[in-house]
Amino acid sequence: MSAMPGVTKSGVRDVAVVAGYELGESLRSRRVLILALLFVGGAVAGTLAFVELLESLEASLAEALAVADPGKPGAVTAALMQSPEFLRMLGRLVRDEALARELAGLPPLALFYGWLGLTFMPVLVMLTAAETISAELGSGSARFSLLRTDRLSFSLGKLAGQTLLLAMGIASGALAVWVTGYATLGSFEASRSALWLGLLSVRIGVYSFAHVGLAVGLSHLTRSVPLSRALALGSLLLLGALWGIGRYNDVVREHAPGFADTLLAIVPRSHMLELWQPTLVDRLPALVVLLALGVVYFALGYNYRARRDA
Amino acid sequence: MTDAALVLSGVRKAYGKRVALAGLDLTAPRGAITGLVGPNGAGKTTCFGIVGGLLAPDAGHVDVLGRGRFDPATQAGRLGLLPQDAELPGHARVDGMLRYFARLQGLTRAAAEREVARVLDLMALRDRAHSRVRELSHGMRRRVAVAQALLGDPELVLLDEPTSGLDPHLVVSVRDVLRAQRDRGISLVVSSHVLSDLEAICDHVVFIEAGRAIKSGALAAVTGRGRIVRFALARPLVLATLQARLPDLVLHGNGSQLVVEAPPGSEIGALNQRVLRELLALDAGVLEMRLGHSLEEAYLDERGRSNLEPST
């Protein structure tokens, strides 16, 4: 009785067990499947739209210059991106010459993928991870797990599961973009594009992790699934508003610069541009801060729930 | 090792202004089935939540298996719990979910596989192993919930309404399973609204009213099975006539009902023999003979008595 052979227990092992089950169940759930299809479908559709735009721009350019239509799109744009005029324009836009050179040096498709991921991944994360904890608290099914592991391991397992899900979503999105680009773009640099899609995927992953932490953290605050979804989406709007205030509100910037800087520090979006920096040393502060923000958002939500009944 | 699998003393718990437990004292012996009897809102579910570490008590002492309050990080697998107000995740497959629970208890993959197969067999659910929870009937879900509480052979199992919603033949089967667990040395604490269910399996009972235990003890003692014999008679009997023939016994009755209280230390078989002989001699026509009260009668008696007593 109760001397069950082969019993091994540790917090790290519990986190891994919860994460593995969370990932498996999320992949099997219809809602996440639909959202994944939306992301991959969105990546493909976005890439096709991007390619079509390039095609149309290059055809117009060829017509204006009275040269032959270049056929498959991409080659002219790639050459255009290396022109001094384009570099100057980009430099003015991002206010950083080194960054402008880095961006101009990217394969166009990778540049587009980076923009797509950084813009839409947070929204998808909020939709998929918002009810991670709240649904289990609401139905009471968390009790079956919490009888077998401590609350921190359970919550960390959920966070890890959602992070793995995010990684799979980003990887499948990158693959979809690469395949679409390979099939439709002329002068497609297959290996260089693959490398850049991979590198940018890591940055998108870190940026999105801040949002996973936020969504899972918020999910601790309520037992209601609709409320946790509303909190998640509402928090995106709130963070957007805080970013706008911190960055563009002259009154706040003039009279309370410290407050404005603090607002910018706690909003993931403020650190987005730094993710494009050419060297790891320049990118590292943003990567570290984004990871820390994810952990802090999660910890705040966990701390609220840890002191309450399951 | 103490003789008690579970001890609660002076446990209090309130949800805002509503008091769920008002100083609950409870002891569940090892290797026995203890029944918790009480109306809705008496505090049984809160009691289970506190014992399982899911709810924090406001005051009082909880001792689970002689190790103080239950800590899942260090004691997972020693305590099994079927909470009443928790739903199993609908989209989960039965075997996968049970495997996950078993792994979370610390079992290796192979041990988890064996355990899942064992509890599914125990609850006659092997053929539904691959079903999703939402595809199961209410009764099947209940049996899956009982199965998860038995995973890993815990030393103490708490079951809140385990037979709720089950068909009669399955109620009997679950009762058999619980008895078998008890016979293997596992301690069980069971709550049910169906007192006949509890009476059929319990060795020990605790009556709970408004968050307090109003009576507890061995089933035989609480129902008076060791000292009371009840007779249903075909014809009304003059009690004084029988009392004259059995002057050392305490007799109660009204017409065709007779209750005989045995003096302390007397052997119930011999007492029964004496009373029966006199009843036959008086031509009372004995229709039925029962030891003690039913659990329901004992509970209602105690509840009535408790309501009459001024609260302290």
Q: Which of residues 62-91 of A touch B (CB under 8 A)?
A: none
Decide which of A70 and A140 is more confident. A140
Q: Which of residues 182-201 of B touch A (CB under 8 A)?
A: 184-186
- pLDDT at position B32, please? 96
What's the residue count for chain B?
A: 312
Residues near B8 by beta carbon (within 8 Å), at least 6 away in sequence? B24, B25, B26, B27, B47, B50, B51, B60, B61, B62, B63
- Tell me how close the Cα of A159 comes to any Cα of chain B, in angstroms: 16
Interface test with B, best of A4, A15, A156 (most B CBs within 10 A): A4
- pLDDT at position A299, please? 97
B84 closest CA partner among B120, B40, B132, B26: B40
Decide which of A101 and B161 is more confident. B161
| Rounded average pLDDT over A74-100 | 72
CA-to-CA dists, residue B64 to A181, A255, B58, angstroms? 62, 59, 17
Residue A3 has a CB neighbour count (10 Å cut-off) of: 7
- In the numeric block, the tokens 């890890």 are attached to A160
Range name among A40-54, A91-105, A199-213, B298-312 with the lowest pLDDT average? B298-312
Q: How far apart are CA A30 and CA A22, in angstroms?
A: 14
Which residues of chain B does A5 touch, with a Cβ-Cβ cutoff of 8 Å?
111
CB pairs under 8 A between A and B: 108
- pLDDT at position A56, please? 78
CA atoms within 13 A of residue B164's CA, in its CB half-sphere: 16
| Rounded average pLDDT over A73-84 | 67
Structure token digits, residue A243? 């970013």
pLDDT above 80 for B76 = yes
Q: What ipTM does this complex have?
A: 0.86
Residues near B78 by beta carbon (within 8 Å), at least 6 away in sequence? A2, B64, B65, B70, B154, B155, B156
Which residues of chain B does A6 touch, with a Cβ-Cβ cutoff of 8 Å?
107-108, 110-111
Contact A4 B107 (CB under 8 A): yes
Structure token digits, residue B164? 């709720």
Residue A52 has a CB neighbour count (10 Å cut-off) of: 12
Of A6, A25, A153, the CB nearest to B110: A6
- Tell me how close the Cα of B300 comes to any Cα of chain A, in angstroms: 32
| Rounded average pLDDT over A236-259 | 91
Decide which of B237 and B100 is more confident. B100
Structure token digits, residue A127? 């939709």
How far is C-alpha B59 from the chain's CA centre? 25
- pLDDT at position A65, please? 67
Which residues of chain B does A8 touch, with a Cβ-Cβ cutoff of 8 Å?
106, 108
B77-89 per-position pLDDT tens digit? 899 999 988 899 9
- E strand residue ranges, chain B: 4-15, 18-29, 33-37, 59-64, 79-82, 156-160, 187-191, 204-209, 212-218, 228-233, 250-254, 257-261, 286-291
Q: Are A148 and A6 in contact (CB under 8 A)?
A: no
Interface test with A, best of B51, B71, B87, B104 (most A CBs within 10 A): B104
Residue of A nearest to B148 (CA): A144
Read off the pLDDT band of A297 (50, 70, 90).
very high
CA-to-CA dists, residue A159 to A204, A301, B240, angstroms? 17, 12, 78
Share of chain B above pLDDT 70, in %: 97
User: Rounded to two decimals, what is the model's pTM?
Assistant: 0.86
pLDDT above 80 for B187 = yes
- pLDDT at position A33, please? 74
Q: How far apart are CA B138 and CA B144, in angstroms?
A: 10
- Tell me how close the Cα of A303 comes to any Cα of chain B, in angstroms: 15
Strands B250-254 vs B257-261: parallel, antiparallel or unpaired = antiparallel
Q: Are B271 and B260 in contact (CB under 8 A)?
A: yes
- pLDDT at position B75, please? 87
B76 closest CA partner among A17, A82, A113, A260: A17
DSSP labels for B33-69?
EEEEE--TTSSHHHHHHHHTTSS--SEEEEEETTSSS
- pLDDT at position A6, please? 57
What's the residue count for chain A?
A: 310
Decide which of B72 and A2 is more confident. B72
- Please tell me if residue A12 touches chain B, with a CB cutoff of 8 Å: no
Read off the pLDDT band of A2 (50, 70, 90).
very low
Q: How far apart are CA B157 and CA A176, in angstroms?
A: 51
Contact B81 A147 (CB under 8 A): yes
Give me chain A's average pLDDT, please. 86
Range name among A31-35, A41-45, A275-279 with the lowest pLDDT average? A31-35
CA-to-CA dists, residue B75 to A146, B34, B72, B151, B155, angstroms? 12, 21, 5, 14, 11
Contact B111 A4 (CB under 8 A): yes
Contact B86 A6 (CB under 8 A): no
Residue of A nearest to B46 (CA): A309
Q: Are B130 and B162 in contact (CB under 8 A)?
A: no
A163-211 per-position pLDDT tens digit? 999 998 899 889 998 998 888 877 778 899 999 999 999 999 999 999 9
Of B89, B110, B184, the CB nearest to A1: B184
| Rounded average pLDDT over B172-199 | 93
Contact B96 A309 (CB under 8 A): no
Instruction: Find the farthest-apart pair of alpha carbons in chain B and give their distance in angstroms, rounded.
Output: 72
| Rounded average pLDDT over B6-28 | 95
Q: How far apart are CA A86 and CA A76, in angstroms?
A: 13
Identity of the residue numbered A191: S
Read off the pLDDT band of A288 (50, 70, 90).
very high
Which residues of chain A does B54 touch, with a Cβ-Cβ cutoff of 8 Å?
143, 146-147, 309-310
Identity of the residue numbered A275: L
Which residues of chain A does B96 touch, with a Cβ-Cβ cutoff of 8 Å?
21, 24
Q: How far apart are CA A135 and CA A152, in angstroms?
A: 17
Read off the pLDDT band of A16 (50, 70, 90).
very high
Read off the pLDDT band of B269 (50, 70, 90).
confident
Decide which of B85 and B273 is more confident. B273
A40-60 per-position pLDDT tens digit? 888 788 888 877 777 777 777
